[in-house]
Structure 1
C-alpha cells in the first residue's frame, strides 16, 4: 500500500480528500499546515506528496523548496493542489520542479489519475538500469504505450495555457509532444488568412512529429485550446529512439497512416457534405476528444468549430440553431450538449 502525504489547511477538504484516498487503497498521512507537513515528510518519507499552495506556517512553495534540499525527500513526487489556477501560479509551481498540479475544485478522478501517473513514473525511472539512463536511445520499446510512458518519465514538462502557442508553422521541428491534460489544435492559414484546423489532440495523444529520418519544419501551428500539461522530447532524441526500436517505428507509421486516412475523409466531407452535415460531424469530433461521457457539455469557441467544419462562423451558427430546433443539441452560451447522439450521426 502506497503512502500519500496530504498537506492541506482546510479541515473539511483535508478530511474529504483523505477519505477519497483511503477508499482508493492508499495509506494517508495528513498535515494541517506546511511546517508540520515537512516534519511528517522527513520522518515518514511517503511515496508521494499532495500539497496545497496557500497555507499558514509555510506555503506550498516553501514546503517544496525545503524538501527538495534534503537528500531523503527530494526525489518524492510532489503535486501542488490549489485554487490558484492562474497561469503565473501554475508556472511558478512547475518551474520549481513539481511533478504536477491540480486546480480546486477537482474531480476525484483527476486527483487519483495524477497520483497514479506520478507513482508509475517513479517506478519506471527506478526500474531503468543506470547504463540505460545515460543513453536513453538504447531503451527498448516494443509499443506506442511504452514510448508514451517513456516520454512521461524522462521528457520535459510543458505547461499548456489556453490560446497560447506551442509551436509555429515553418519553425524547426525541434520537439515531439505528448498531451497529458487539456487539448491542443493544429491548424494552417490559407492565403486569405482563414484558419483551418487539421488536428485535435487530447490526453494521451502524440503530436509534432513529421519526419522519421531528417530534421524537418513544422508544417502546422499548434495552440492550446485549454489549460493543461504536455511532455516533450527533442526530435533528435525521438529519431535515435526509432533507430533502435523497429517495432515502435512500424506502430508510429501505422498511426500516421490512420491520421492521413482520417484527414482525407475530412477533406472529402468539407468538399461535398452539406453545411448541416459538416456542423453535426464537427460537434461529434469535438465530443469524442473533449468529453468524458456523452452527457458532458462541449465548451468551445464557434470560430474553432467553424474552422474544423470548413465553413463560415455565420453558417455554423445557423446550423447550430437548426440542430437545436430539432432537439439534437442544446446550447447554453458557449456550451453545446448533445441530446440525441444517434440522430446527430444520421444528419444529412
Structure 2
C-alpha cells in the first residue's frame, strides 16, 4: 500500500507541482489550501507524513504543528516544513514545536524525496521495535528483560582490552555482536591488494562500531584497529534487544548513528571524487575535531600516516599540504599533533 502524504500549501503552483512529484514517486497525496483546512484533512486522512508551508492564511504552519502535536492519533506523524523562511528564530521555533525537518523553497525534487524517505524509514524502525515482544519461554531473554539502566548494565559487563595498534576484527569475519567503546580510540579501514589503507571512520568513548555485520548478518566489510590502548564492550543481539526495550533513547541513538554514517560516507565519496587535495585535507582536519582526542583547544594528536589514509592521499602529498596550510597561518604543526587556528578559512579552502 502506498504511503500517504498530506501537503498543506497555499500557493497553487507550488502545491500542484509538489503533489505531482509525490504522485510520480508512488505516494498517495491529499492537499490542503491553508492551515485550517490542513488540520481537518489530517484528522480524516491520517497521513504517514505531513509537508506544510509556514506562511499561510487563517492558520500558519506553526499553528498546524501545534494543533496536530496535541492530537493523539496524529502526534507521532513526521512533520516537514516547506518554506522560504530560514532565519534562526523560525528554525528554532519549529524545532521546539516538534518539526522533523525543513526544506527551503525553491527545492530540488530529489531533496524533497530524500527527506520524506529518511523520516518514513525512521518511523518504520520504531514500528518494528513496538511490535517486538519478548518470548516468555526464552531463558536468554528472561535474564535480560529487566535492564532498566544502561549504565548499571554496562557496569556488570566484561571489558575487553586492546593495546595500541592491535586488531579488533578483520574484513570477512562474521560478527555476532557489536562493539561499544568504554574508553580509547578505534579506526575502521579498508585495505587494497597492495596493503594500502583507506580509513573509513574513527570511533571514541561511548560510540558503537562494527554494527553493519551485526545488523545485516554478513561478514565485516572492513577492518578495525585500536589507535591507542582501548577498552570496549561486546554486546550480543539479545542484549541489544533487551537494552532497547527498556531504554528507548538507545534506539534513537542507533537510528541517528546509521543515518549520520550514511550521510558522512556520501559526503566523503563526493569529496574524494571531486575535491582537490587541499580541500580534502582541510575538510578532514575539521571533521577530526569531533572524532579525535584533543590535547587542548583544536589540537589533534594524529600520526601523519593515519591522516593521509583518512584523506586517501600519499603521505608526501599530505606533508606538502600541511606545510602550505602552516605558511597560510591556518594551522600549527608539531611532530605529533596539528592545531587548527582558523576554521572559517579552512572551510573556504579550494
**TM-score where L is the length of structure 2:** 0.54
* Gapped regions of structure 1 (runs ≥ 5): 1-131
Secondary structure (helix, strand or coil) at the match of 1:162 reads coil
| 1:271 counterpart (270, 273, 277) | 273
Distance 1:278 1:207 in 2: 24
Equivalent position of 1:135 in the other structure: 142
Larger radius of gyration: 2
Question: Deviation digits for residues 231-276 of structure 1, max 9, x if unmatched?
Answer: 2223453356557877744642332122111111011001111101
Question: Deviation digits for residues 118-164 of structure 1, max 9, x if unmatched?
Answer: xxxxxxxxxxxxxx9983432466xxxx65x3662233201131111
1:197 is the counterpart of 2:199: yes
Cα distance change on mapping 1:194 and 1:151 into 2, 3 Å: farther
Distance 2:163 2:274 in 1: 35
| 2:173 counterpart (171, 188, 211) | 171
Contact 2:178 2:235 in 1 (8 A): yes
Contact 2:332 2:341 in 1 (8 A): yes
Equivalent position of 2:300 in the other structure: 298
* Gapped regions of structure 2 (runs ≥ 5): 1-138
Cα distance change on mapping 1:134 and 1:263 into 2, 3 Å: closer
Distance 1:293 1:333 in 2: 14
Contact 2:294 2:301 in 1 (8 A): no
Distance 1:234 1:188 in 2: 25
Q: Which moved more, 1:241-250 or 1:305-314?
A: 241-250
1:162 is the counterpart of 2:169: no
**Number of aligned residue pairs:** 212
Distance 2:234 2:321 in 1: 38
Cα distance change on mapping 1:336 and 1:214 into 2, 3 Å: closer
Distance 1:288 1:254 in 2: 16
Distance 1:293 1:322 in 2: 23
Equivalent position of 2:105 in the other structure: none
